[in-house]
Structure 1
Amino acid sequence: MPEELYFLFAHEPYYPPHGLHEVNTTIVAADTLLHPHVRQPDGARMHHYLHQGQRTKGEIVPLATLTHELDGGAGWEQTAHWEKVVDDLLALARFGSCDSLGLGLPALERALMCSAPHTRVINCNPDTGQRETHGPDQRAAVLATLTENLQTTQAGRALWPGAGLLPAIR
């Protein structure tokens, strides 16, 4: 099981105190799902599924990727109430109970992060008026940029998931 996985989720935008830009997407350490203030056992189940499959150290896994891997969302009913878990994670992140990276992603990048890995997103370029199709390559590029930003922001150290973490499901 690779260490230092990260979990990305989109949420309703908010403006942090003294912030100039809205935050509409957040990245936390995957182990934050084991925090005692996250709905359990749902968070632990999501943590378990997050660590399945071909993951690499330092990888950012969007909620949409988990949804895709859980039969396009059909598996959520047996796995977790993901909406409640995301609400809990956002509260932890906003009030400093864990480290996080709050992002104000532009609409296209956010749409790519909220879509399954092989989904195509179509948008209208406001400069040209032309329809543009964005797919897996553009999604991978956004994740690569976010990974680079996370590494730079954290100066080589992992995000702190919070205190008193519960044991992982093995």
Structure 2
Amino acid sequence: MASAHQLVQDAEVSERLRTDFAGMDLAGRLHSQTGRYLKVDVGPCGAFEGELSHVGRGWIGLDGERRSSVIALDHVVLIGGMDRFSTVDAPAARLGLASALRGLSRDRAAVQVYLAGQPPASALDGSVDRVGKDFFELSLTPRGEPRRQGNVRGVFTVPLRAVAAVCSAV
């Protein structure tokens, strides 16, 4: 009788865990992976690797050996390196991709912008000038050159939905 009761309890616990996991979104799953080294594939743009440092609303931050990356979750195809543990009550991410890019704009950091569906060779080099609600302005500069008026080759408006990743320049 005790054995049958234990089997019922084990089945209930297993079902509860499956139900809890079924209600979790990707951002919630990623919150429990903060600090882990991940490989994130964004399709034709390539893969980005690093320690998961931030989980925002629709984006993650990876700190790699040579560069840091902000990756839009809408364009992620695969994520490797996550463990099997997760927390059901992950904090809700408040800051969106625009907020992450505003930090880069403030710092006038040299970046490479990877557009969704494009090969890595077509990444745009430059700096984020200004960030709106659903777009940002990118000043194109030659790779490795600082953003100076004489180095700017053009200023382009980029919709946020077109961005797969933004990385610190190598």
Q: Same fold (TM over 0.5)?
A: no
Which is richer in strand? 2
Larger radius of gyration: 2
Which is richer in helix? 1
Structure with the larger RCO, 1 or 2 (CA within 8 Å, 6+ apart): 1
Question: Where on the TM-score scale, by shorter chain, does this alignment land: which range?
Answer: under 0.3
Q: Structure 1 length as normaliser, TM-score?
A: 0.25
